[in-house]
Structure 1
């Protein structure tokens, strides 16, 4: 991972619509349509990994630097962070290898999105300090770029 692979910051907020409106008023952000996805995940618990499905709801900014504003999912890692920043997102050419490298550096895996092939295509890691790190497979970058380019919320 390199600094230039960092492509977004994610925040989880209780007032989704209000936050988008406020960030637009303050900084001029424009927003993509809200995405609602059912995602197969592997959650790492003290008793071992648990495979389940969650529903995520979020919107990215059209503008760069990109912000990802996410609705909370109670009882999961998707709850507002004390610092405001939930995670920093990085492109990864090899999520399993980069994930193992982060774990070896003291940032254990919390949860990973599992693709149809059983391999993670994104992963959250959290160390003792600082925000989570999200690794996102560069293979999904074209789909996200299409979403950013063609999806805009009405003003």
Structure 2
């Protein structure tokens, strides 16, 4: 993993439409229409649950700006986590990388599981990296996600 795998920066916000307006005004960005991202299995300290997140992405990038609407809970996407949420990077082997990072003393905070059982993304806890949470996205998802971000369908 190198910093050249940087894909996006995620910001957790209380109101996605207001945040879109604010970031558009401040940075000149345009955004996709907000959508609900459904996660079948999101594992964190409180257990593994279904997760539905309201999100949008900047049309400009990479790196892209991802806005995520906070939720009324104590989890990774709760209101108390609002602000700069994560730095997203592509990673060919998130399992191996997380093992290495945990060996360095970093904490695995969460795992987003695919329906077939593979990892979609793995998250480090921010406390060991000066308040920065890293999100490692499994690299085989890159072509579909990039097609979607440029106006195509995920299956392109």
How many angstroms does 1:33 deviate by? 2.5
Q: Which runs of 4+ in 1 moved over 4 A?
A: 80-83
Give the aligned length. 147
Unaligned runs of 5+ in 1: none
Counterpart-to-counterpart distance in 2, 1:83 and 1:76:
11
The 10-residue stretch of structure 1 (118-127 or 131-140) with the greater mean CA deviation from structure 2: 118-127
Q: 1:95 to 1:63 in 2, by over 3 A?
A: same
- Structure 1 CA distance for aligned equivalents of residues 69 and 97 of structure 2: 27
Deviation at 1:76, TM superposition (A): 1.0
Q: Say yes or no: does 1:71 pair with 2:72.
A: no
Q: Which runs of 5+ in 2 are unaligned?
A: none
**Larger RCO, structure (CA 8 Å, separation 6 or more):** 1
User: Counterparts of 1:5-154 in structure 2 under 5 Å?
Assistant: 5-39=5-39, 40-45=41-46, 50-64=47-61, 65-73=63-71, 74-79=73-78, 84-126=83-125, 127-128=127-128, 129-150=130-151
The secondary structure found in structure 2 opposite 1:131 is coil
CA RMSD, 1 decimal: 1.9
How far apart are the structure 2 equivalents of 1:81 and 1:134?
A: 18
Contact 1:80 1:86 in 2 (8 A): no
For the Cα contact (< 8 Å) 1:95–1:137, is it kept in 2?
yes
Q: Aligned partners of 2:53, 2:137: CA distance in 1, in Å?
A: 15
Q: TM-score if structure 1 supplies the norm length? A: 0.86
Distance 1:29 1:80, change over 3 A: farther
Q: How big is the shift at 1:143? A: 1.7
* CA distance in structure 2 between the aligned counterparts of 1:102 and 1:67, rounded to whole angstroms: 25
